[in-house]
Amino acid sequence: MAENEIRRTEGRGRLFDSVLDTIGDTPVIRVNNLAPEGVRMYVKAEAFNPAASVKDRLAVNIIEAAERSGALKPGQTVVEATSGNTGIGLAMVCAQKGYPLVVTMADSFSIERRRLMRILGAKVVLTPRAEKGLGMYKKAVELSEAHGWFLAHQFETEANADIHEVTTAREIMADFDGERLDYLVTGYGTGGTVTGIGRVLRKERPDTKIILTEPANAAIVSSGHAQERLPDGAPAVSHPEFEPHPIQGWTPDFIPLVLQEAIDGGLYDDLIPVPGPEGIKWARELASKEGIFTGISGGSTFAVAMGVAEKAAPGSVILAMLPDTGERYMTTPLFEGIPEDMSDEEAEISRSTPGFQM
């Protein structure tokens, strides 16, 4: 853009039939102020989805795949266990399509997530945090079996990774067409993102190194301990290496079946753990230095990408996946120390002129 040129827009050139048609085609944005010299860094900002997270993609595909197969009947209640983003995505999809939704969620997750789901029309059933992710998962299964509700099965369903294979990965391929892409960095919740993207990049961009990351104090994949599973692939028990961590949306207390494909199929090149405080630090840095607002999960992914960038060869190009918006973390450690009232410096600015003082 020329220095003296005003920014312009031309519209999308189409009218959307519903909010669901706006899912995907999220932008890849260059990181200008934080990237080390000689390295190009980009983020894929999934907060540009209509319900502000990457989980909008799997939410719409789970429902529409079930509609196509006949597994979901008109007016049937949908139920799912979620740390928040999948539930918010499902609430948006179910509101538009007319399905009742019940979400089970451990009471440790941020309050704003509950309220977002409820304003979108969902019912939110809380489970004790001591029972971890497996507790909310088992509660969803109980409710499904007791009431004949459709269980979304985000951790096991093929519809999860499939949507990332045909949307997220294709977008990355198109955006980097004719460009270098040396590293792609992502975390995991269900594992759908890394599995779907990995399927495509392994075939079509095999030189791109895929870096997976997980919380340092809940490094269950890098532990090498296999997940105990039920016959349908669902988790049988909590993973023994799991500990509670602050990166909401990442790493439940089991290895999802969707992620298992990436593990077994070698769909990533390295696995780098990240401490939660680093994720918080880099989410704040992205906000204050780049104007890119993401949550702790996005900050954690970017923290690992920064570590990769520091060691990368000159000219390297790195893409980090940012799953959601920072507004989903208002009551989490991401906002600790961010005051509601004026700071001393702000009060001094106010006093620098005589009027309208608090």
Are the C-beta atoms of 297 and 279 separated by less than 8 Å? yes
What is the Cα–Cα distance from 50 to 249, expressed in whole angstroms? 18
How far is it, in rounded angstroms, from Cα 356 to Cα 288?
A: 28
Take residue 12 and report the two structure tokens written for it. 């999308």
Which candidate in 44, 55, 139, 209 is catalytic? Answer: 55
**For residue 171, which amino acid is it?**
E
- Catalytic residue (one of 83, 110, 144, 297): 297
Can you point out the beta strands (E) in 266-357? Answer: 270-274, 317-322
List the beta bridge partners of residue 80: 103
Would you give the DSSP letter of residue 292? -
Q: What span, in angstroms and rounded, lies between the C-alpha atoms of 176 and 223?
A: 34
Distance CA 326, CA 297 (A): 9
Cβ count within 10 A of residue 343: 9
Active-site residue flag, 110: no
Q: Where does 180-283 show beta strands of DSSP type E? A: 183-186, 209-215, 270-274
Provide the annotated active-site residues. Answer: 55, 297
